[in-house]
Amino acid sequence: MDRGAVLSLFLVLAAVTSLGGCKLEKHVATNDGGDQIQQVVSSSPGGDMDALVTEIWAKQVLPHLQHTATDMAVLGDAIAADVDSAGEAHGYRPSSEGSPWNFAARVQGTILAARTDTRAATADVDVTADGKADVILQLGPVIRGTALRDLLPFVDFSSFTDQIEFAQLSRSLNTRAYESALKDLPRDDLVGKTVDVLGAFTVRGDGPPYLITPVTTKIGGS
């Protein structure tokens, strides 16, 4: 093999090697007006999802929910009237076909019932003062669903290595939500107390009560 062929082969191998360890990069997201929003989150192959969530939690995740949350009483009425119209006005869903709407909500209400004898603990909350549960708050430590991940417009499946890593991102977000907003909450005598929660939920064609993943939680008195 002549020197030219050897050099060409070396350059090809070097390029393939560098691609194998590269970090996926995405552009800075913009809204319809061209204003810069937030850097799209990406991952290197075999990335540490817990570390990634630690990096983005205070900088991107919490601010996004705080800025986009709608009062749950307003959301409930809007979803009941037309979920697609409610989603276009207040929600977000990934671009993949058939994806459900996800919403950020501010929940203020009274706890009607609490199930705290399980690792997937929950509390039923009445938001509209009609004596019926409008939402179910997840209390953990087991947090179900992918609402928190799927609500974030700066998180996209194409920026991650594979489905396994994308699922791990959701678990890491749920774990961080539990540790930040739920781990230190009292578990006794919750019924009758008021709550003020910022959280996320997904609408999959079912009606209320909606399953909320809290990111901030305050419990008041009776």
The β-bridge relationship of strands 91-92 and 101-115 is: antiparallel
Q: Using pLDDT thresholds of 50, 70 and 90, give the confidence band for residue 44.
A: low
Domain boundaries, the chain: 44-219
Cα separation of the two ends of the chain: 84
Residue 43 has pLDDT above 70, yes or no: no
Q: Give the contacts of 52 (CB within 8 A, at least 6 positions apart).
A: 41, 43, 169, 172
> CA quadruple 79, 84, 90, 96: dihedral positive or negative?
positive
Average pLDDT over every residue of 27-48 = 49
The tokens 């578990």 sit on which residue? 187
CATH of 44-219, one of 3.30.1490.20, 3.20.20.70, 2.40.50.420, 3.30.365.10: 2.40.50.420
Q: Using pLDDT thresholds of 50, 70 and 90, give the confidence band for residue 4.
A: low
Q: Using pLDDT thresholds of 50, 70 and 90, give the confidence band for residue 97.
A: low
pTM: 0.80
- Degrees, nearest 5: CA angle 54-174-88: 100
Q: Using pLDDT thresholds of 50, 70 and 90, give the confidence band for residue 196.
A: very high
d(CA 182, CA 122): 11
Average pLDDT over every residue of 155-162 = 75
d(CA 124, CA 182): 15
Average pLDDT over every residue of 79-86 = 95
By C-alpha distance, which of 208, 199, 8, 5 is closest to 104? 199
Residue 42: predicted pLDDT:
54
Average pLDDT over every residue of 153-180 = 87
Residues 201 and 212 sit within 8 Å (Cβ to Cβ): yes
Residues 174 and 148 sit within 8 Å (Cβ to Cβ): yes
Residue 45 has pLDDT above 60, yes or no: no
pLDDT, greater one: 136 or 162: 136
Average pLDDT over every residue of 163-179 = 92
Q: Give the contacts of 57 (CB within 8 A, at least 6 positions apart).
A: 176, 180
By C-alpha distance, which of 215, 207, 211 is closest to 138? 211
Candidate ranges 60-74, 160-174, 202-216; pick with highest mean pLDDT: 60-74
Residue 36: predicted pLDDT:
38
